[in-house]
Structures are given as structure tokens and as C-alpha cells.
Amino acid sequence: MNVEIEAKLKVKSHRPFEKRLRSLAAKFQTEQKQIDFYFDDANRSFVKSDSCLRLRRQIEKSGEKIFLAYKGPKQKSNFKKRQEVEIEVGDFDKTKGILEVLGYRRVIVVEKTRMLWKVNRCLVALDKVKRLGNFIEIEGSSNKRIKQVQKLLGLGNFVHIKQSYADLLSHKISKRIQI
């Protein structure tokens, strides 16, 4: 089982950071469209335990891939750190059907476009999240490595966001519904 460690930062625009990545000789990996379907049971067990069950449809030039992931509760850290178990599955509809038969229901859908770069053994994702805006995620093997890349990108003073995109979107939607 893997432990995911990442910094998530809100930015106004990706443009200056794309330029900075190029100047650092970062390696462009791919551009993706990701549609993430989050599931929970009737008791909201995943939300209550600060974990999640996600079915992702990922589309890029090479085609479509489908991933099923479980993410555990966030661990104490300066960054967003949690257990992650992810597998590639072959059929979105059948996997969704299995989850529904098991009693899970879709609770939220998060759509984003992602440009992935690699620099200093970290993945840097420039994310444009529908209804939320622009973010940068830096994922690496240690807090130290992530902090180094954050500084290289000129993001040293930016506040880390520990909530997932699903949490942020859920909060935005619930605020809008309240009267």
C-alpha cells in the first residue's frame, strides 16, 4: 500500500508556473481530463472516517483509462498525507455497477483538466477544476522533496490546502444551497 504525500495550492493562473517549469527543464508528461466519481454508503462511512472511494475516468491522447481508488484518513503532516490503494480496471460501467450493488452510491463528481510535469523526482499537476478554479499539486516521496519543488516554483509562501477537491466542491455546493 502506498502513502500519498502532496501539497495542494490555489493559484490564479497556471501561466507563470508553466513558464517556471520550462525554465527549470521540467519534463512535461501528459495532459489529461479526469472525471472523478466519489461513492459512499447510506451512513456516509467514508466521509465520517475522512477517507474516500473514487472511480476515475481518465482521458488523454493515448486513450481512456479507468481507476478505482481507496484513500484513507489524512495523517498528521504539514502536507496532505494519506494511504492510497489504486488499481486500474477495465470497464467503468461494470465497476460502477459493482459498487452500486454493494450499497455504495455516487455522492459527488469532480471534473478537471490536468497537465502533469516531472521535476526533481516530484510530479507537479497543474489542475483546472470545474467550479473551483486553478490549483497546483506537488506529489513526492517526502515532505522535504515537495518543499524544495514548491520553493523552486516560487510557491514557498502559499498556504497548503489539505481538503480534497471533493471536499472543497461539497462545501461550495452546501454553502450555495443554504438559505
- Give the global pTM: 0.93
Count of domains forming the chain: 1
Q: Which three cell numbers stand for residue 54?
A: 473514487
Say whether pLDDT at 34 is over 80. yes
pLDDT tens sequence across 138-163: 999 999 999 999 999 999 999 999 99
Quickly tell me which residue has 478505482 as its cell.
68
Quick check: 125 and 139 in contact, CB under 8 A? yes
Say whether pLDDT at 10 is over 50. yes
pLDDT interval class at 179 (50, 70, 90): very low
C-alpha 58, offset from chain centre: 12
At residue 175, the pLDDT reads 78
Burial 99-114 (b: 16+ CB within 10 A, else e): beeeebeebbebbbeb
pLDDT tens sequence across 94-111: 999 999 999 999 999 999
Per-residue pLDDT, averaged over 50-65, amounts to 97
Which residue range is the domain that position 29 belongs to? 2-177
Which CATH number fits the domain that encloses residue 72? 2.40.320.10
Could you give the CA distance from residue 160 to residue 138 in angstroms, rounded to a whole number?
A: 11
At residue 77, the pLDDT reads 87
**Run of H or E including 166:** helix 165-177
CB proximity list for 65: less than 8 A, separation 6 or greater: 58, 88
